[in-house]
Structure 1
Amino acid sequence: MTPTFKKLAGSIALACAAVASAAAQAETVVKFGFAAPLTGPQSHYGEDMRNGLLLAIEEANVKGIIVDGEKARFELVSKDDQADPRIAVQVAQQIVDEEVHGVLGHFNSGTTIPASRVYNDAGLPQIAMATSPEYTQQGYDTTFRMMTSDTQQGAAVGVFMVEDLGAKKVALIDDRTAYGQGLTDQVAAAVERSGGTIVAREYTTDKANDFTAILTNIKAREADAIFFGGLDAQSGPMRRQMATLGIDIPLVSGEMTRSETFLRLAGDAANGTYASLAGVPLDSMAQGEKFAADYKARFNTEPGVYAPYAYDGAWNMITAIEQAGTADPGKYLEKLANLQRSGATSEHIAYDENGDLNEVAVTIYVVKDGQWEMVKTMVNSAQ
Structure 2
Amino acid sequence: MSFGVAACGSSDDDNAGGGSSTSSSGSSSGATNLTIYSSLPLQGDSRPQSMSVNDGEQLALEKAGNKAGKFTITFKKLDDATAAAGKWEPGATSSDARKAAQDKSTIAYIGEFNSGATAISLPILNEAGILQVSPSNTAVGLTRSQGADKGEPDKYYPTGKRTFGRVVPADHIQAAAQVTYQKDNGCSKLYILNDKEVYGKGLADQVVPIAKAQGLTVLGNDGIDPKAANYRALAQSIKSKGADCIFFGGITQNNAVQLWKDLNATMPSAKLFGPDGVAESPFTTKIGSKAEKQTYITNPTLDPKLYPAAGQDFFKDYKAKYGTDPEAYAIYGYEAMSVVLEAIKNAGDKGNDRQAVIDAFYKIKNRESVLGTYSIDQNGDTTLSDYGGDTVKNGKLVFNKVIKAKTS
- TM-score by structure 2 length? 0.81
**8 Å contact kept, 1:50–1:307:** yes
RMSD: 2.1
- Partners of 1:244 and 1:109 lie apart in 2 by 31
Q: Which residue in the other structure is 2:120 paired with?
A: 114
Q: Which residue in the other structure is 1:332 paired with?
A: 357
- Partners of 1:240 and 1:182 lie apart in 2 by 24
Equivalent AA in structure 2 for residue 235 of structure 1: A
- Partners of 1:268 and 1:380 lie apart in 2 by 29
**8 Å contact kept, 1:209–1:238:** no
Q: Which residue in the other structure is 2:6 paired with?
A: none
- Partners of 1:205 and 1:60 lie apart in 2 by 45
1:210-258 deviations in whole A, cap 9, x for unaligned? 2212111111111010001122353333222223224420000101222
1:139-183 deviations in whole A, cap 9, x for unaligned? 44211002111111011212331x312222111111111111111
Q: Which residue in the other structure is 2:129 paired with?
A: 123
**8 Å contact kept, 2:387–2:405:** no
Equivalent AA in structure 2 for residue 172 of structure 1: I
1:3-51 deviations in whole A, cap 9, x for unaligned? xxxxxxxxxxxxxxxxxxxxxxx99322012111111222222212211
CA apart distance, 1:343: 1.0
* SS of structure 2 residue aligned to 1:217: helix
Q: Relative contact order (C-alpha < 8 Å, sep 6+): which is higher?
A: 2
- Write the mapping of 1:38-187 to structure 2, written as runs, cut at 5 A: 38-61=42-65, 65-67=68-70, 72-82=71-81, 83-99=88-104, 100-128=106-134, 129-137=136-144, 138-139=153-154, 140-161=161-182, 163-187=183-207
Paired residues, number: 351
Q: Which residue in the other structure is 2:230 paired with?
A: 210
CA apart distance, 1:259: 2.4
Q: Which residue in the other structure is 1:255 paired with?
A: 276
- Partners of 2:216 and 2:179 lie apart in 1 by 9
- Partners of 1:380 and 1:164 lie apart in 2 by 12
- Partners of 1:46 and 1:264 lie apart in 2 by 17
321, 326, 342: which one aligns with 1:319? 342
* SS of structure 2 residue aligned to 1:32: strand
1:53-104 deviations in whole A, cap 9, x for unaligned? 1111111226x5432xxxx321122211111233312221111112311111
Task: Give the % identical residues.
Answer: 25
* SS of structure 2 residue aligned to 1:101: strand
**8 Å contact kept, 1:271–1:370:** no
CA apart distance, 1:105: 0.6
- Partners of 2:50 and 2:397 lie apart in 1 by 21
- Partners of 2:364 and 2:117 lie apart in 1 by 26
CA apart distance, 1:380: 7.1
Larger-Rg structure: 1
Flag structure 1 segments of 5+ consecutive residues without an equivalent.
Answer: 1-25
1:240-287 deviations in whole A, cap 9, x for unaligned? 222322442000010122222222211112123000012432331222
* SS of structure 2 residue aligned to 1:266: coil
CA apart distance, 1:209: 5.4
- Partners of 1:45 and 1:201 lie apart in 2 by 28
- Write the mapping of 1:186-225 to structure 2, written as runs, cut at 5 A: 186-208=206-228, 210-225=230-245
Flag structure 2 segments of 5+ consecutive residues without an equivalent.
Answer: 1-29, 82-87, 145-152, 155-160
CA apart distance, 1:184: 1.0
**8 Å contact kept, 1:170–1:223:** yes
* SS of structure 2 residue aligned to 1:256: helix
**8 Å contact kept, 1:363–1:375:** yes
**8 Å contact kept, 1:174–1:228:** yes
- TM-score by structure 1 length? 0.86
Q: Which residue in the other structure is 1:3 paired with?
A: none
CA apart distance, 1:301: 1.7
- Partners of 1:274 and 1:380 lie apart in 2 by 16
